[in-house]
Structure 1
Amino acid sequence: MAPAPATAQANGLRLGLAARLALRELRGGLSGFYIFLACVALGTGAIAGVNSVSQMMTGSIASEGQTILGGDIRFESDNRDIGEAERAYVEELGTVSAGANMRTMARKPDGSDQSLVELRAVDNAYPLYGGFETVPPLPLDELFAEDNGVYGAAAAQILLDRLGLAVGDSILVGEASLKIRGVITAEPDSLSEGFGFAPRLMISRAALDAAGLIRPGSLVEFSYRVRLDESAGARDLAALREDATGRFPDAGWSIRTSQNAAPSLTRNIERFSQFLTLVGLTALIVGGVGIANSVRAWLEGKRGVIATLKCVGAPASLVVAIYLIQVMLIATLGVVLGLALGAVTPFLAASALSGVIPIAVSASFYPASLAVAAGFGLMTAFAFAVLPLGRAGEVPATALFRQQGFEAGALPRWPYLLTAGLTLLVLCMAAIWFADDRRIATVFVVAVIVAFAVLRLVGQAVQLIARKWPSVRSTPLRLAIGNIHRPGALTPSVVLSLGLGLALLVTLALIDTNLRRELSGNLPERAPNFFFVDIQSSEIDGFENTVSELVPEGKIIKVPMLRGRITQLNGEEVNADNVPPEARWVLRGDRGITYAKNQPENSRLAEGEWWAPDYAGEPLVSFSAEEAGEIGLNVGDTITVSVLGRSITARIANLREVEWESLSINFVMVFSPNTFAGAPHSWMATLSDPGADAAQEGEVLRTVTQAFPTITSVRVKDALELANRLVGQIGIAIRAAALVALVASVLVLAGALAAGNRSRIHDAVVLKTLGATRATLIRAYVYEYGLLGLATAVFALAFGGVASWFVVSRIMTLPSEFMPDIALLTLVGALILTVGIGLLGTWRVLGQKAAPVLREL
């Protein structure tokens, strides 16, 4: 048992010796490690910056929860106001601010123009938290006061610009006349109100009543914000929400607390940051190939040192330890540089976001985000450095002195392979563990692994084709083909370095182009010209006659519409946690529902049968097949829906395939007519006329708004233009993230060239000695890099085309088309990158003197 302490002591001495030798060698500087540093710093900085900004945003939302929500707790009820018992319960909790939100039309008094607006009615207690500001500054009781039957209003500047109005002018909403008394400059709780489809117009609740917009079936959201008093404030908000739900199970309201003030925004920030983090991790892993190339190139220059160490008795483990310590110290420097970049990113982003998100964004340092990024950076550097270090440790001294031994194809012994494999496994598991949506993270990690494997096969296939290619007459082309398949060729590194970056860019570019084409071209052609909502039963016939006279060739589709919330599935309370994320929107809040005798024309039955036109049995419902599959519903199951304060249980009679992308009237749930017999409701209608021009659409909008001021008209082209702008803004951010991966790919390519420079120098000197001119060598390199760029571009186009098709057609359920112009740009870009960077990397090779190199052979 005595040898164990001696062995431990020897290992300790050996590690100390390795550390001393490593530090001494580092005194020579970082020559050969600049690409290594850039790869580590780029990937680490991307991960640290994205996570820090995400943490800053979610932290700011959480800290400003009361201001964003407008209270400590908020109760919302769609399409009907809460009852007296519910109101009494809410008022006992503390100070209450009641409000109502809806979309409607605002028009100029002379009828010359109109605009869709997001109408919001508030009381004098508003706001409970934060500050509501207008120009000129006025107190609410003065801002919204009535003067000779005319109520005051505050409007967003964009509404005034759109209608050509100014403060002091009048505007009509419904049956009420309003006077613009201020321009809204700060609405503290606007984030919790959701996406603003139209400009904001704020009025008092009395003005809303005078407008006559709240009628049976109107799409209106009633809200009650509460600032808890001292006794209630000490209560746990989650417990308070459960208490309210338990006391009033049939209230049909949704309850939010300041701890989750803007759930949709927080959820979107987390999802987008997860996507960008995975892109950053991809850049880091792609950079790992550059790390391996840089380490191999650096070890090429240490042949003499390694040989000397081995000749004086240094074992392979000591050699590996010396250079592993150096590599990890330099990797630590790269991580520190990346962390510095990630640490300042929130401070740079805070000023940019202050004008976009109306909350106080306070930047800080986020140690948790920086620690995660540092861990990813160090693990990546270690995993990709172990293999070339292991190969160097196994080469005998005699081979090193003969300038041999670092062939790229040689594999180290199994301990090094196992170590690298386990480190990469831990890296992948960490990426999945730290993700908000682990399912998406798992798919992403698997896709990267598959892409790496496919790229490896592509590289081998290119080498095999080059090896089997028949002899050609052109000397430069023959040299290029030989360079592609010779031992130690750059082919695998070049294909791997550029393949993933270009494939990611092609995928995102094709998705963005397809979306833009769909939103600006195909979709408007298929979609109706107008949506009309809040049509009362007493108005539906007059509305239809008016529109038919204006557009005789137009097609009008009208359906009854109610709002309902799914509360139970097969008799069990809804639990969104047990539903996949892509289907939770169906269970979140009130959904539009309808009833129909006949099957809607824009859908087809996937399973089950439609009910008879005179059906009078138990309530039945037709459910969208895709959403039913995601939730786990089948024909024969039951759902319970809360509609107008009543809970109605219906059995699923059939499942429908719905064409959501047509933008025609579609519903997740269509009930049998007897389900809502006698229930008050409004109507929704669409108008389709492909031949109508802008002037005709404007005339329809003016006439309908003047004749039926309480009907809300939505011009589809305006909505698509807004969606197109949003897609463009998101696309810019995504393309910028993909550019990070492409930059990493370029760095890897540069590292691969540096790693192969030694053999290139030998080849060039020998060829020049045999009579080759510089022009011949340049042409050979151009052909070589051009052929490799062509092969990489073909892979990127194939992979990007398949990936974009899957996302657009399967996930977004939109038509997908391959774009030849994107293909051409990718091909040209790949060729420019490979040829340009390849020539830059080998230019020094062409100027080498023959004598010094020949003396070493």
Structure 2
Amino acid sequence: MSAATAIRSLRPFLALRLALREMRGGLKGFYIFLACIALGTAAIAGVNSLSQSISATIASRGQDILAGDIRFELNNRVATPEERAFLDGLGDVSASAGLRSMVRLPDGSNQALVELKAVDSAYPLYGVLESEPARPLSDLLSKQGDVYGAVAAPLLLERLGIAPGTEVLVGNARIRINATLIRESDALSDGFGFAPRLMVSAEALATSGLVQTGSLVEHSYKIRLADPSRVASIRTEAQSRFPAAGWSIRTSTNAAPSLNANITRFSQFLTLVGLTALIVGGVGVGNAVRSYLDGKRGVIATFKCLGAPASLVATIYLAQILMIASIGIAIGLVIGALIPFVAAQFLADVLPVSTSFELYPSALGLAALFGFLTALAFAVLPLGRARRVPATALFRQQGFERSGFPAWPYLAGALICLAALAGLAVWTAYDRYISLIFLGAIAFAFIVLRAVAFLIGWLARRSPRVHSPALRLAIGNIHRPGALTPSVVLSLGLGLALLVTLALIDGNLRRELTGNMSERAPNFFFVDIQGHEIDGFRSLLGDAMPKGKIIEVPMLRGRIVALNGEDVNSRTVPPGGQWVLRGDRGITYAKNKPENSTLTEGAWWPADYSGEPLV
């Protein structure tokens, strides 16, 4: 090995030793650097750790959340004898029914909408139902005379202004609320509720008279399997034996798919927000590195005068930057790791999140990778400029403002880091199309803000001469060589853009939900009116509101079981359209097209249509 080769092989160790000596003076000048990296890393680590915590808890508590190993759900009908025999052969079965109805006080003084859930004596197969007072569910729902027991959510008692022990009416059934509902383990798997829960027995629901042909009722059959290892094969067997059943099948490994999907989407949104904060901080990283290197002009000059090659100088300060970035990332990871534990103290009552402290290595690793890529992407260019400055220029106290663009390897390195940052954001995204739009918007914002910074400098350079020395110096500092105008405009512009974007999203959602409510929303909305009741209902409305406008839409509920003649379970559906197939849909058979509907293809059936049923 030649002497030159030996010296080159020792350069990394020499650079590391010199970098460590340089850092003996502390982190002065790098506090902004540390804050930018730590905050951005903490945001990404915390959001993804919380998302994984919720997903892991759902997976580990799948049986409790589903209240079974597997669930079969049918809309508007009970299982046929053949279907029920098949389900009974799988293990212990708990049947329940859910629908929306009105509960009213016997004297008619008050009423409220409820999510009615009727359960059998086997409920729940897994998990627990907590109530106040704490008594067996069978006792709370038992019948005393002609009055059935019930458990109600506290919100329902508050809306009706009553206390436990009060009797109410549900359809034709008289119900006594014996306890308030504290926790219902399978509430998450039942989906979003529009009203507070009222839980009754299956016998009480049958007595109420609410379940008739055409009633909107979801019948669920939750099963504790005799052989839990058969979960995967049972779905296939059920679909092959009963292809026209139209039931929705869910297993404990995917107990709350809608919640999982919403958490994933929300975490992607917050991850992109965190990435924006990290990129905004990246501009601060570039400024901090540049200012630090500008303050090290004498040291760099000394290195070069003693014969240190430019590559060694760049390696020394690159090692320092990586060490300082590591400190900032470590701080961010510690904060991010604590976020799920802290959030659990506030979310445990509404979301399945673990209250014990756990680490999520993949989330922390992803955040660390984002942090390192950001630090490198914005620090490489100042290093490249410092590398090109000759020692003579440094001794004359000239900074880096006239050093121009760095050498092409540094430009290429910065571009590679930015490309890796963008690729990582797209690759880890739930919706890659949104990620691409987001990254394109950031790139466009960079271009626009750089153009704005150039325009500000151009205007300052051509502004009339002012008499005030302070103002003249201020204007001169805006356009002088090496001015921080581009960096300041970029940082403020991106930060403001992020805040404005969040405000616009919030404002658009609020306006969409409430902006035209008074103009378009009806005063009353009635559902589940049976065919034999419609004439009397029209007469009642006509007497109460002679000049009122009544819009009727006949409707039934159903699931899509085939798409273009193929079983939907055998087709690959994009994530954006899977929600259509997950639950039941509203289907109208109105004679005329509803006023607020748009027909995108085909023709509406004739008002006097008579023939084969279309649904």
> For the superposition of Structure 1 and Structure 2, which TM-score range results when normalised by the shorter chain?
over 0.9
**Matched residue of 1:246: which SS?**
helix
Indicate how the Cα distance of structure 1 residues 152 and 606 shifts in structure 2: closer, same or farther if over 3 A, else same. closer
Q: Residues 524-539 of structure 1 correspond to what in structure 2 (within 5 A)?
A: 524-539=518-533
**Distance in 2 between residues matched to 1:224 and 1:276, nearest whole Å:** 37
**Distance in 1 between residues matched to 2:540 and 2:425, nearest whole Å:** 59
**Distance in 2 between residues matched to 1:253 and 1:36, nearest whole Å:** 56
**Distance in 1 between residues matched to 2:108 and 2:51, nearest whole Å:** 47
Q: Residues 705-744 of structure 1 correspond to what in structure 2 (within 5 A)?
A: none
Deviation string, structure 1 residues 45-79 (Cα, Å, up to 9, x no partner): 11111111111111111100000001000000011
Match of 2:492 in 1: 498
Q: Residues 379-394 of structure 1 correspond to what in structure 2 (within 5 A)?
A: 379-394=373-388
TM-score (normalised: structure 2):
0.96
Deviation string, structure 1 residues 496-525 (Cα, Å, up to 9, x no partner): 001111111112213323333443442232
Decide which of 76, 79, 102 is 1:79's aligned counterpart.
Answer: 76
Decide which of 402, 414, 417 is 2:411's aligned counterpart.
Answer: 417
Q: Residues 254-273 of structure 1 correspond to what in structure 2 (within 5 A)?
A: 254-273=248-267
1:301 aligns with 2:298: no
1:597 aligns with 2:594: no
Deviation string, structure 1 residues 544-602 (Cα, Å, up to 9, x no partner): 11112112221111121111212222222226974443333222221010113323222
Decide which of 165, 169, 178 is 2:166's aligned counterpart.
Answer: 169
* Cα offset, 1:141, TM superposition: 2.4
Match of 1:62 in 2: 59
Indicate how the Cα distance of structure 1 residues 271 and 336 shifts in structure 2: closer, same or farther if over 3 A, else same. same
1:350–1:363 CA contact under 8 A, matched in 2: no
1:135 aligns with 2:132: yes
Deviation string, structure 1 residues 611-669 (Cα, Å, up to 9, x no partner): 4333456x6xxxxxxxxxxxxxxxxxxxxxxxxxxxxxxxxxxxxxxxxxxxxxxxxxx
- Farther-moved stretch of structure 1 (570-579 vs 319-328): 570-579
1:46 aligns with 2:40: no
Amino acid at match of 1:306: I
Deviation string, structure 1 residues 142-178 (Cα, Å, up to 9, x no partner): 2111122111111111111111211211000001001
Match of 1:289 in 2: 283
Indicate how the Cα distance of structure 1 residues 62 and 382 shifts in structure 2: closer, same or farther if over 3 A, else same. same
**Distance in 2 between residues matched to 1:117 and 1:608, nearest whole Å:** 39
| RMSD of equivalent CA atoms | 1.9
Match of 2:313 in 1: 319
Identity of aligned residues (%): 62
**Matched residue of 2:554: which SS?**
strand
Indicate how the Cα distance of structure 1 residues 437 and 363 shifts in structure 2: closer, same or farther if over 3 A, else same. farther
Q: Residues 637-676 of structure 1 correspond to what in structure 2 (within 5 A)?
A: 674-675=613-614
**Distance in 1 between residues matched to 2:564 and 2:69, nearest whole Å:** 34
Q: Residues 120-269 of structure 1 correspond to what in structure 2 (within 5 A)?
A: 120-229=117-226, 232-235=227-230, 237-269=231-263
**Distance in 2 between residues matched to 1:464 and 1:568, nearest whole Å:** 64
**Matched residue of 2:516: which SS?**
helix
Deviation string, structure 1 residues 418-469 (Cα, Å, up to 9, x no partner): 0111111112111221222222222222222222222112211222233344
**Distance in 2 between residues matched to 1:217 and 1:8, nearest whole Å:** 87
1:510 aligns with 2:449: no
**Distance in 2 between residues matched to 1:548 and 1:573, nearest whole Å:** 46
Unpaired runs of at least 5, structure 1: 620-673, 677-857
Q: Residues 357-372 of structure 1 correspond to what in structure 2 (within 5 A)?
A: 357=351, 361-372=355-366
**Matched residue of 2:185: which SS?**
coil
Decide which of 444, 467, 478 is 1:450's aligned counterpart.
Answer: 444
* Cα offset, 1:138, TM superposition: 2.0
TM-score (normalised: structure 1):
0.69
Match of 2:389 in 1: 395
Amino acid at match of 1:298: Y
Indicate how the Cα distance of structure 1 residues 604 and 546 shifts in structure 2: closer, same or farther if over 3 A, else same. same
Amino acid at match of 1:60: T
Unpaired runs of at least 5, structure 2: none
* Cα offset, 1:475, TM superposition: 5.6
Deviation string, structure 1 residues 811-847 (Cα, Å, up to 9, x no partner): xxxxxxxxxxxxxxxxxxxxxxxxxxxxxxxxxxxxx
Match of 1:489 in 2: 483
**Matched residue of 2:25: which SS?**
coil
Amino acid at match of 1:26: M
2:53–2:353 CA contact under 8 A, matched in 1: no
**Distance in 2 between residues matched to 1:203 and 1:484, nearest whole Å:** 73
**Matched residue of 2:531: which SS?**
coil
Match of 1:10 in 2: 7
* Cα offset, 1:212, TM superposition: 0.4
**Matched residue of 1:215: which SS?**
coil
**Distance in 2 between residues matched to 1:318 and 1:600, nearest whole Å:** 75
1:64–1:359 CA contact under 8 A, matched in 2: no
Amino acid at match of 1:131: V
